[in-house]
Amino acid sequence: MKKIALFPVQKNNAPLARYQNRIPDTEVIPILAPAHKSMAGQDLSALDGGSHTGITLRGDFEKAVEDCELLYLDDSRFLTREESYAEFIRTAERHPIRIIYARTLSERLHLQDEESCSQKWQASGLGDAGKLTAVDIPVISVLTMGNETDQSHVEIGMRRFFQDQGYRVSQIGTQEYSRLFGFSAVPHFLFANLDGKRKRLMFNQFVRRMIKEEKPDLLIMGVPEAVMKYNNRIPAGMGDVPCIMMDAVQSDIGVLCTCCQPYTEEYFKELSLFGRYRLNCELHYFNISNSVVINDEDYQDRLEHLPLDSGFVVSHMYDGVDADCGFEIFNSYSDMSSDKAYRRMEEELAGNPEAMRGGI
Amino acid sequence: MGVVIKAFRTPLGYYVYDRSSNMIVKVEKEEYPVVLKLEAGREDEETAELLKAYRAKGILKENRLTEIRHPASQTLPYHLEHRVQKITLQLTQSCNLRCDYCAYSGKYHQRTHGGGKMSMETIKKSIDYAMKRSDGVEDLNIGFYGGEPLLEFENLKKAVEYVSGAYHDRKVNYTITTNGTLFHDEIIRFLSAHDFSVMVSLDGPKELHDQNRVFANGEGSFDRIMENLRYIKERYPVFFQKISFNTVVPPGSDYKCIEHFFSANDLIEENHLSRTTVSEFSLKDEVRYDDRYFVTYQYQTFKILMAALGFYDKKKISRMFSTDFVEIQRFYDHLGEAPVCTSCAHPSGPCVPGARRPMVDIDGNLFPCERVSERSDAMKLGHVDTGCDPVKADRLLNIGRLTERECIHCWNFLHCGLCASAADNGTALAGDRRLSYCESSRQGTLNTMRSICLLREYGYDFEGDFFDEEDRVISGTEK
């Protein structure tokens, strides 16, 4: 059995550990950032707020990487000093271990020619076809309102569900580690300095090429970056990348991942309309994450989040919203609530002949 | 329910602040009397017509607020378990000074100077407590406080060494508040090596500083502090830059004189400077500032506004007041955000007690911060052995419930700024005590709004860069 060390384990990459049984003959060892060391010895669920996994969080970096073949080193806001990474890298290199870097970390550390795990499908050879071509399979897009929305967990959880129903699933993931699960991460050219039209055409070809090769029944498309600005002071990516991807590939179902807040039905209606007119896809599915945006500070120029757990979120996610409102509001870490949502998606796609034809 | 608004004027314009949108709206002169009627809750044909017009634009919406509840109430236990951002350790209750307006001078509903000090066991427990409960924050801040914390330099050293050993790869920022009389080489080298941010209390020129900040024998502390500062600047210039100063302006003092001292003193000309007035919270007797204080204050504010409009050299603005403009800018930046449009909300002001910046006293008791009364049972949140009592924390977080009836209809709801300590009368949390600060809070907000409108009337560009980024960062840190 191959052992992969995951460092630092944090909410956005915890699905790699939680769903390690989806990676053949592999054990993932989740190692905590120093800031989280007090969780060492606890179950992974202490970190991601989900159900018990039987996977233990480790705090002893050197010992944990000792008998691993691979170290997946991720970017983390809890490791702000580059020298901290250098120290961990030196420690790892004392052992015969292969290190792969998240792309953003590789850029941050100014590493060149280091191995990144993100690309399965290469972008090379994608030209300007001059037109968009229909994708002839059902497409589910997983979108986000920002950070800490458990988007990657929805992506992997949805993959698990549809694979378990016997579907062949092609997937594009928002996380760099996607390839470890056997699918591609969002191609880098979407973040490159290219004009929007060219990105749309290239991404359309990228997906077409993937579909042609893999012949799936379904495409799950993770869409990185927030679909809209938070406010003028926190503009994030202004929703550019989501717009490009959603223009390039028509989605049949859109799932929007968002933090746990006291929402109203009106709010979800507005978001649904936003999806229709801006993202080319009406939104009816909303994942409520195990995090809440903190709003106790008087003034803040960045968003801070508070970790919650699934039990809390499930008991509050319908506060202020009628359960029969027509929207599927779920929490990906609750099997009952997420399976219900994924089943409804399956039914929706099965009953939608147009979706089966695809088309832009 | 009506609308919750505040009408106000400047020499050149008529305005209304609308709580339901958190916006300031310019109104026509002819409309202003109608707006005043609306504000007073008088309804007639005219007000109905005006309301209709405004509501079509999405403002002056009906007040839907019926309940005061802080949005963090439900998630409070998670805050207490994951979001401790700063912990302040009261290393000692001793001090080598006897400042007249000190919180421990006997003039407050507060303990007085004592000889107690925090044991190493309590220090370690406090650090462990914060480390365990700060996994939701990037870097933890540990502050050292007193009394005079440098009287316990050996324990301070051991505390930092404990963090370096047990939590060696955790990012920790250290701060210390000191009276500046006890620096020596070993202390300076240690604080410098661990990148401490140091706040020294300095009240201005010798004659003013020594009026209040005296040693136990009555001798003034000014000369000692200045001697220390000169030494540090000469021998440890890099560390010196990290020292900031706080000046307390007591009633009756000559603001102009203080201002002159700080602008003319080349020793500390580049260090960050902040000013405070004597805290009124938990004070046994009323504190009264005279006209001279207010005139100087308003004149300085006037100069800032003139400088923003290009009529006065911004380099001549008092360093003691330069951050005031940043507050005006911030107020402007946040207009339109987080309006009161739900049935349940809480006025601004309270932090999440026990999470934002808990203070541990020498016995390990937890308080919301170092500024509250340690004698108040309402403020005692728990103990480092047992953690914060969520019921008590919730009571402080939802301090607005004490004055629910008034807060529901208050236009200053989003800019109030009164935390739980304003309601602490020494024996209990009291609504009337809290309400006694409302007027000054509202007046402060009104002044800021008037400044904003005045600046706009004269063409000031709030998106511009009157103060550079560094100024803003300094102010942000201070805040």
CA distances from residue B299 to A267, B295, B304, B307, B440 in whole angstroms, order as listed: 47, 6, 9, 12, 19
The predicted pLDDT at position B290 comes to 78
ipTM for the predicted complex: 0.84
| All structural domains of chain A | 2-108 (3.40.50.720), 139-357 (3.40.50.300)
Contacts of A38 in chain B (CB under 8 A): 131-132, 135
Residues A306, B75: C-beta atoms closer than 8 Å: yes
Cα–Cα distance, B216 to A92 (Å, whole number): 57
Mean pLDDT of B449-474: 75
| Cβ contacts of A317 within 8 Å, gap of 6 or more | A260, A288, A329, A330, A331
| Cβ contacts of B270 within 8 Å, gap of 6 or more | B241
DSSP string for residues in A338-353: HHHHHHHHHHHHHT-H
Tokens of A77: 């806001």
Mean pLDDT of B170-193: 95
Mean pLDDT of B157-169: 92
Phi, psi of B215 (to 5 degrees): -70, 170
The predicted pLDDT at position B107 comes to 64
Mean pLDDT of B340-358: 91
- Please state at what angle helix B255-264 crosses helix B291-308, rounded to 10 degrees: 50
Can you give the pLDDT of all 360 residues of chain A as single tens digits? 899 999 999 988 999 999 999 998 999 999 999 888 889 999 999 999 999 999 999 999 999 999 899 999 999 988 877 888 898 999 999 999 999 998 888 888 888 655 655 555 556 667 666 789 999 899 999 999 999 999 999 999 999 999 999 999 999 999 988 888 989 899 989 998 999 999 999 999 999 999 999 999 999 999 999 999 988 888 888 999 999 999 999 999 999 999 998 899 999 999 999 999 999 998 999 999 999 998 755 446 778 899 999 999 999 999 889 888 899 999 999 999 999 999 999 999 988 765 544 433
Cα–Cα distance, B63 to B342 (Å, whole number): 8
Contact call for residues A108 and A74 (beta carbons, < 8 A):
no
Q: Is the pLDDT of residue B438 over 80?
A: yes
Residues A34, B167: C-beta atoms closer than 8 Å: yes
| Cβ contacts of B36 within 8 Å, gap of 6 or more | B7
Residues A80, B337: C-beta atoms closer than 8 Å: no
Burial label for A309, CB within 10 Å (0-12, 13-18, 19+), is middle
Q: Is the pLDDT of residue B5 over 90?
A: yes
Tell me if residue A223 falls in helix, strand or coil: strand
The predicted pLDDT at position A342 comes to 97
The predicted pLDDT at position A359 comes to 35
Cα–Cα distance, A241 to A237 (Å, whole number): 7
Cα–Cα distance, B281 to B421 (Å, whole number): 6
Cα–Cα distance, A238 to A12 (Å, whole number): 21
Tell me if residue B23 falls in helix, strand or coil: strand
Residues A296, B356: C-beta atoms closer than 8 Å: yes
Contact A267/B at CB under 8 A: no
Q: Is the pLDDT of residue B228 over 50?
A: yes
Other CB atoms within a 10 A radius of the CB of residue A146 amount to 23
Bin B14: left if φ > 0, else alpha if -120 < ψ < 50, else beta.
beta
Burial label for A171, CB within 10 Å (0-12, 13-18, 19+), is buried
Cα–Cα distance, A205 to A209 (Å, whole number): 6
Cα–Cα distance, A322 to B148 (Å, whole number): 57
Cα–Cα distance, A239 to A244 (Å, whole number): 9
Closest CB from A80, A262, A292 relative to B171: A80
The predicted pLDDT at position B468 comes to 53
Cα–Cα distance, A285 to A298 (Å, whole number): 32
Cα–Cα distance, A221 to A159 (Å, whole number): 10
CA distances from residue B75 to A36, B19, B285 in whole angstroms, order as listed: 20, 26, 38
Mean pLDDT of B130-147: 91
Cα–Cα distance, B251 to B287 (Å, whole number): 7
Mean pLDDT of B461-477: 53
Mean pLDDT of B249-268: 81
Cα–Cα distance, A17 to B18 (Å, whole number): 50
Contact A231/B at CB under 8 A: yes
Instruction: Please report, rounded to a whole number, the percentage of residues in chain B having pLDDT higher than 70.
Output: 92
Q: Which helix (H) or strand (E) holds B345?
A: strand B344-345
Bin B345: left if φ > 0, else alpha if -120 < ψ < 50, else beta.
beta
Tell me if residue B443 falls in helix, strand or coil: helix
**A5: closest CA among A59, A49, A42, A48?**
A59
The predicted pLDDT at position B155 comes to 98
pLDDT tens-place string over residues B19-70? 999 999 999 999 999 999 999 999 899 999 999 999 999 999 999 999 999 9
Average pLDDT, chain B: 89
**A92: closest CA among A71, A116, A78?**
A71
Confidence of residue B105 (pLDDT cuts 50, 70, 90): low
The predicted pLDDT at position B216 comes to 84
Contact A82/B at CB under 8 A: no
Q: Is the pLDDT of residue B278 over 80?
A: no
Name the class of domain B76-307.
alpha beta
Task: State in Å, rounded, how far the first CA of chain B is from the last one.
Answer: 35
- Closest chain A residue to B341 measured between Cα atoms? A264
Tokens of A194: 């290219």
Tell me if residue B212 falls in helix, strand or coil: helix
Which of residues 79 through 108 in chain B touch A, CB cutoff 8 A?
79, 82-83
Contact A86/B at CB under 8 A: no
Closest CB from B72, B131, B136 relative to A307: B136
Contact B223/A at CB under 8 A: no
CB pairs under 8 A between A and B: 73
Contact B330/A at CB under 8 A: yes
The predicted pLDDT at position A320 comes to 85
Contact call for residues B167 and B214 (beta carbons, < 8 A):
no
Instruction: Please report, rounded to a whole number, the percentage of residues in chain B having pLDDT higher than 90.
Output: 65
> Residue A111, Cα to own-chain centre: how many angstroms?
24
Q: Could you tell me which residue, A216 or B263, shows the higher pLDDT? A: A216
Cα–Cα distance, A341 to A313 (Å, whole number): 16
Cα–Cα distance, B381 to B388 (Å, whole number): 5
Contact call for residues B133 and B78 (beta carbons, < 8 A):
no
Q: Which of A83-87, B249-253, B261-265, B325-329 shows the lowest mean pLDDT across its residues? A: B249-253
The predicted pLDDT at position B408 comes to 97
Strand blocks (E) in B160-319 = 172-178, 197-201, 243-249, 273-277
